[in-house]
Amino acid sequence: MVRAGPRGGIIRGAIEKGEACRWKGVRVENHDPIKAAVIEDQKEIREGLQALINGTRGYRCTGAFRTMEEALSKIAFEVPHVILVDIGLPGMSGIEGIPLLKERYKDAAVLVLTVYDDDDRIFSALCAGACGYLLKKTPPAKLLEGLKEAIEGGSPMSPEVATRVITLFRSLRPPERADYELTPHEIRLLKLLSEGHNYKTAAAALGVSVNTISFHMKSIYEKLHVHSKSEAVAKALRSRVVR
Three-state DSSP class for 241? coil
Which has the higher per-residue pLDDT, 17 or 198? 198
- pLDDT tens for residues 218-240? 999 999 999 888 889 888 888 88
Q: What does the pLDDT read at residue 167?
A: 82
Q: What does the pLDDT read at residue 80?
A: 96
- pLDDT tens for residues 202-211? 999 999 999 9
- pLDDT tens for residues 53-89? 999 999 999 999 999 999 999 999 999 999 999 999 9
Q: What is the CA radius of gyration of the chain?
A: 19
Q: What does the pLDDT read at residue 237?
A: 85
Q: What does the pLDDT read at residue 230?
A: 85
The three-point CA angle 44-48-54 to 5° equals 145
- pLDDT tens for residues 134-176? 999 999 999 999 999 999 999 999 999 998 888 877 766 554 5
Confidence check: pLDDT of 133 > 80? yes
Which region among 97-101, 166-170, 175-179 has the lowest average model confidence (pLDDT)?
175-179
CA distance 222 to 148: 43
Domains of the chain (ranges; CATH) run 9-169 (3.40.50.2300), 184-238 (1.10.10.10)
CA distance 44 to 50: 10
DSSP 84-152: EE-SS-SSS-HHHHHHHHHHH-TTSEEEEEES---HHHHHHHHHHT-SEEEETTS-HHHHHHHHHHHHT
